[in-house]
Amino acid sequence: MFYLITFTLIYLAITVYFSWLGYRRTVTVSDYLLAGRQVHPVTMGLSYGATYISTSAIIGFGGVSALYGFGLTWLSFLNIMVGVFIAFVIFGKRTRKMGKALDAHTFPELLGRRYESRFVQGFSGLMILIFMPVYTAAVLIGISRFIEVYLSIPFSTAFLAFLLITSCFVIWGGLKGVLYTSAFQGVIMVVSMIAIGITSYYSLGGISEAHRSLDAVTPCIPQFLKEAGHRGFTSMPETFSSIWWYVITTMIMGVGIGVIGQPQLNIRFMTLKSDREINRSVPFTAIFILCTTGIAYAVGALTNTFFYSTYTELPIHAVQGNVDKIIPLYIDRFYPQWFVALFLVALMSAAMSAGSSQFHALGTSLSRDIFEQALLKGKSVAETTIVTRVGIVFSIFATLIIGLVLPESIVAVATAFFFSLCGATFIPVYLFGLYWRRGTKPAAKASILSGFFTSLIWMLLFHQQEAEAFGLCRKLFNTETLAGHPWNMIDAQVIALPIGLIVFVVVSLATRPVHEETVKKAFVHI
């Protein structure tokens, strides 16, 4: 407890100092403007990474890796290749230029202005407002599970306490200086994850030895997992088995590709001065992702050796099936108490940096996208600030309720749900908006609606995991899911994203293009 209080106080003091520093620097607007936005690439890389990688990646996906093994390294590959390189170079550069040309301040606003459609902006804002709290809840559940294990207090108490802390940070701290604080939070995350990676591999005798040690554990894999396609922690699941479809389409592709449609990340590109800043941020963000997710997934799988050699049981048994507790329990059992406290502070920073930008994205979705554009037809009024606050308070309450209602082993599942929904809904309009001048307003509407509703229908009636959880299919058709193997295991994004892309192209070719002036304006810097 002594370590925890000491580290937390030091952490909070430094966070407050950086917030103040950021605040002081943004007060003198004209100086700031003349100097240009000299955001150091390391700051941008760490800040983007800390928003992208939260507790859900470390706790949730680390736990999933403990269950399914090293197959998840494909997700860290996509995290870097798609989440950094493609997101920055293919999408980021044009997003920045188009955002500036169209004077867009939120992601839905960029789409709305590109297609001259208030509906696109309003609907996108509404979708974010309704579904992002599921992801925010997942992020906060991740840290709360750790507090539950470390302090031995009930999960609901830990969740409520942490939500309260994050809310205070968001409401009073605001976005001012968020770049500095999230970069600082990023440093803590990288340092503690590298420490965990090195110590875990070192104590197992090096990289090859550590991986080889997992073979000894393979016979202990529960029978039901073996029957579903589990072939060991250093092998991919059996091709086309239930686990294979689940790991590949939901865990790897859902998050790996869905990241492109994440509104709280895309908005970051619009704050950069030139393409040079994007180029320079790429290596730092990639190193950050490698050190956080790469290590989290590897250590997640290695926990099997640690638990088996010490307690002769697999971590999944030690946590009574709740995968979200595997990483917290591993750190708690195998590391000195001072390090556990330090890691908790690292997770706190991960949750706070991701949580605060999510709450702000939610607040601005309600005020700028739904209230100003969809309801007031584009009029800007003084009440917008109040509406932003209402949006933030609403999303805090929504997160609270969702967090307490969600079942166990949910962090990675809820994260994949939101990423995949955003991917299917936004990627077609976003991609074509940046690269195809011929894209039309009706096509944007049709693509967003078809991507969104195909995902939703697939989740409620076909994809086993969500269909069972929601129970709508059972009520309507008296069966758990309308699809048999393998369709019941295939993630919604794999079905809905191609549909959204096809609908966009077909409708665009059949309808009138967006006004030429708008297209010219959008592409002026490109």
Q: Is 296 in the site for other proteins (CB under 8 A)?
A: no
State the DSSP string of 452-507.
Answer: HHHHHHIIIII-HHHHHHH-HHHHHHSSS-S--TTGGGS-HHHHHHHHHHHHHHHH
Chosen residue from 250, 357, 388, 395 binding other proteins by CB under 8 A: 388
CB of 8 or CB of 279, closer to other proteins:
279
Q: Considering only residues 54-73, where is the footprint of other proteins by CB under 8 A? A: 69-71, 73
Q: What are the angstrom distances between the C-alpha of 259 and each of 8, 138, 243, 285, 432?
A: 31, 16, 22, 14, 17
Q: Is 215 in the site for other proteins (CB under 8 A)?
A: yes
Q: Is 219 in the site for other proteins (CB under 8 A)?
A: no
Q: Is 376 in the site for other proteins (CB under 8 A)?
A: no
CB of 210 or CB of 411, closer to other proteins:
210
Q: Is 226 in the site for other proteins (CB under 8 A)?
A: no
Name the H helices within 81-231.
93-101, 107-114, 118-151, 155-168, 178-203, 207-213, 223-227
Closest contact distance (angstroms) between CB of 53 and other proteins is 14
Q: What are the angstrom distances between the C-alpha of 25 and each of 123, 294, 357, 391, 519?
A: 35, 35, 20, 27, 36
Q: Is 186 in the site for other proteins (CB under 8 A)?
A: no
Q: Considering only residues 110-149, where is the footprint of other proteins by CB under 8 A? A: none
**Contact code string over 263-282 relative to other proteins, x by CB under 8 A:** -------xx-xxxx-xxxxx
Distance in angstroms (rounded) separating the CA atoms of residues 488 and 485: 6
Q: 3-class DSSP state for residue 335?
A: coil
Neighbour-count burial of 154, counting CB atoms closer than 10 A to its CB (0-12 exposed, 13-18 middle, 19+ buried): exposed
Q: Are 493 and 424 in contact (CB under 8 A)?
A: yes
Q: Is 465 in the site for other proteins (CB under 8 A)?
A: no
Taken in order 137, 140, 146, 148, is the CA torsion positive or negative? Answer: negative
Q: Are 146 and 140 in contact (CB under 8 A)?
A: no
Closest contact distance (angstroms) between CB of 200 and other proteins is 14
Burial 442-452 (b: 16+ CB within 10 A, else e): ebbbbbbbbbb
Q: Is 6 in the site for other proteins (CB under 8 A)?
A: no
Both tokens of 97, joined, read 């230029």
Window contacting other proteins (CB under 8 A); options: 3-11, 92-100, 476-484, 510-518? 92-100
Rounded to 5°, angle at Cα 434 from 432 and 437: 70
Number of shown-chain residues binding other proteins (CB under 8 A): 71
Q: Is 526 in the site for other proteins (CB under 8 A)?
A: yes
Window contacting other proteins (CB under 8 A); options: 154-162, 231-239, 447-455, 493-501? 231-239
Residue 293 has phi, psi (to 5 degrees) of -70, -45
Q: Is 212 in the site for other proteins (CB under 8 A)?
A: yes
Q: Is 511 in the site for other proteins (CB under 8 A)?
A: no
Closest contact distance (angstroms) between CB of 341 and other proteins is 30
The residue to which tokens 């493609």 are assigned: 86
Closest contact distance (angstroms) between CB of 237 and other proteins is 10
Chosen residue from 17, 119, 151, 176 binding other proteins by CB under 8 A: 176
CB of 96 or CB of 325, closer to other proteins:
96
Q: Considering only residues 405-434, where is the footprint of other proteins by CB under 8 A? A: none
Chosen residue from 15, 47, 241, 285 binding other proteins by CB under 8 A: 285
Distance in angstroms (rounded) separating the CA atoms of residues 119 and 289: 35
Chosen residue from 110, 111, 149, 290 binding other proteins by CB under 8 A: 290
**Contact code string over 13-32 relative to other proteins, x by CB under 8 A:** -------------x--x--x
Q: Is 232 in the site for other proteins (CB under 8 A)?
A: yes
- The full length of the chain comes to 526
CB of 173 or CB of 500, closer to other proteins:
173
Q: Is 44 in the site for other proteins (CB under 8 A)?
A: no
Q: Is 211 in the site for other proteins (CB under 8 A)?
A: yes
Q: Is 524 in the site for other proteins (CB under 8 A)?
A: yes
Q: Is 156 in the site for other proteins (CB under 8 A)?
A: no
Q: Considering only residues 297-326, where is the footprint of other proteins by CB under 8 A? A: none
- What H or E segment, with its residue span, contains residue 509? helix 492-510
**Helix 275-289 and helix 41-52, axial crossing angle in degrees, nearest 10:** 50
Closest contact distance (angstroms) between CB of 170 and other proteins is 8
CB of 71 or CB of 108, closer to other proteins:
71
Distance in angstroms (rounded) separating the CA atoms of residues 378 and 370: 10
Rounded to 5°, angle at Cα 354 from 172 and 193: 125
Q: Is 210 in the site for other proteins (CB under 8 A)?
A: yes
